[in-house]
A = this chain, B = another copy of it.
Amino acid sequence: MEKRITVAIDAMGGDNAPFEIVKGAVDATKELEVNIKLVGPQEVIEAELQKYTYDEAHIQVIHASEVIGTDESPTMAIRKKKDSSMVVGLNLVKNGDADGFVSAGSTGALLTGALFIIGRIEGVERPALATCLPTKDGFTFLVDSGANVDCKAKYLEQFAKMGAVYVENVFGIQNPTVALVNIGSEKEKGNALTKEAYDLLEATDLNFIGNVEPRDIPSAGPNVTVCDGFVGNIILKLSEGITMTLLKIIKKEITVGVYKIAAAMLKTPFRNIKKHFDADEVGGAPFIGLNALVVKAHGSSNAKAVKNAIRQCVSFSEADIVGKIRDKI
């Protein structure tokens, strides 16, 4: 008999909840070897589920009466809202009733809750948020992209190791290249943190290729890009900001006067370019270093993003990445 992975989903998290979340979960059960536990108000979720045909053996509703908003204090929300979809979902994982958890809700609350409820893998100092940052020819796995704003060099070494295990096993990239974000390519460049981290990374058995300069990340990003969470979040958010602003400027410049016709002819290629930078293709940021996979899906996640986040949980569990990270650390 097949062994299906069970993934718990925060049905109430994100801008498009519960509609897109439930749709993505239903789609996932059809494409993946997965059982889903949809967490949230029973009536609301069941009303959503009635819109679809699906195999009831693979979808279960777990009632949770509360919802954590994105504007709430993470620590307070996790502590007080014991019956929120997020806390109930994380507890399913903690108690062994699910193998992973996906939420498009508050990042802060999810990181806090996951850390306290699911807990770290033994030996991991700081779990990290990772993001697949689009590059010219694919993506680079950016660790840490926002969980730890003040880091020691040792944390960065662990981010690199966890990132390499993840991309090798979840995305199937053999012997992935790992590089350190720095403001120069030479070893001696950078600040106190990167200088120390460089030495530590050089001494590992990773495929460490040295520093990567920010200018080269979009065109020649390594498989795993390592930095502290403050810098990583800047890279992530600035990338989004520049891409969106530039596309807007282009649209404004080419949809006036005589250019309108040409612009109209180029709708398809521009749509493809936008799609290339579309976060939904990957489906969220894994929070790695915990005893199970927790995926932070984008707040604006659609069904496809949710399905792809679930796919990451399935690959993660099947490949026993917790065990592999424990061995590596």
A61 to B10, CA, bound (A): 72
Quote the shortest CB–CB distance from A160 to chain B (angstroms): 18
A231 to B237, CA, bound (A): 13
| CB-defined contacts of A216 to chain B, threshold 8 Å | 241
Contact A238 B240 (CB under 8 A): no
Quote the shortest CB–CB distance from A320 to chain B (angstroms): 33
Q: Give A169-219 interface residues, CB cut-off 8 Å to B.
A: 181, 183, 190-192, 194, 213-219
| CB-defined contacts of A218 to chain B, threshold 8 Å | 238, 241-242, 244-246
| CB-defined contacts of A237 to chain B, threshold 8 Å | 183, 213-215
Q: Give A114-136 interface residues, CB cut-off 8 Å to B.
A: 135-136
Main secondary structure of the interface of A (DSSP, over half): helix
| CB-defined contacts of A266 to chain B, threshold 8 Å | 254, 259, 262-263, 266
A190 to B149, CA, bound (A): 7
| CB-defined contacts of A231 to chain B, threshold 8 Å | 230-231, 234
- Taking a contact as CB atoms closer than 8 A, the residue among B192, B230, B253, B261 that contacts A269 in the complex is B253
* A150 close to chain B: CB less than 8 A: yes
* A233 close to chain B: CB less than 8 A: yes
A326 to B148, CA, bound (A): 37
A112 to B234, CA, bound (A): 28
Contact A181 B234 (CB under 8 A): yes
A261 to B218, CA, bound (A): 28
Known: A230-B190, A253-B269, A254-B269. A241 touches B262 (CB 8 A): no
Quote the shortest CB–CB distance from A71 to chain B (angstroms): 10
Quote the shortest CB–CB distance from A221 to chain B (angstroms): 10
Contact B190 A214 (CB under 8 A): no
Q: Kindly list 4 other residue pairs between chains A and B, CB separation below 8 angstroms, not including A250-B270, A253-B269, A262-B262.
A: A214-B241, A217-B238, A219-B244, A258-B265
Q: Mind listing 18 A-B residue pairs with CB under 8 Å? A: A135-B245, A136-B245, A146-B183, A181-B234, A183-B237, A213-B237, A214-B233, A215-B241, A218-B241, A218-B245, A239-B242, A242-B246, A250-B269, A250-B270, A253-B270, A254-B270, A258-B265, A262-B266
Chain A interface residues (CB < 8 Å from chain B)? 135-136, 146, 149-150, 181, 183, 190-192, 194, 213-219, 230-231, 233-235, 237-250, 253-254, 258-259, 261-263, 265-266, 269-270, 272-273, 276
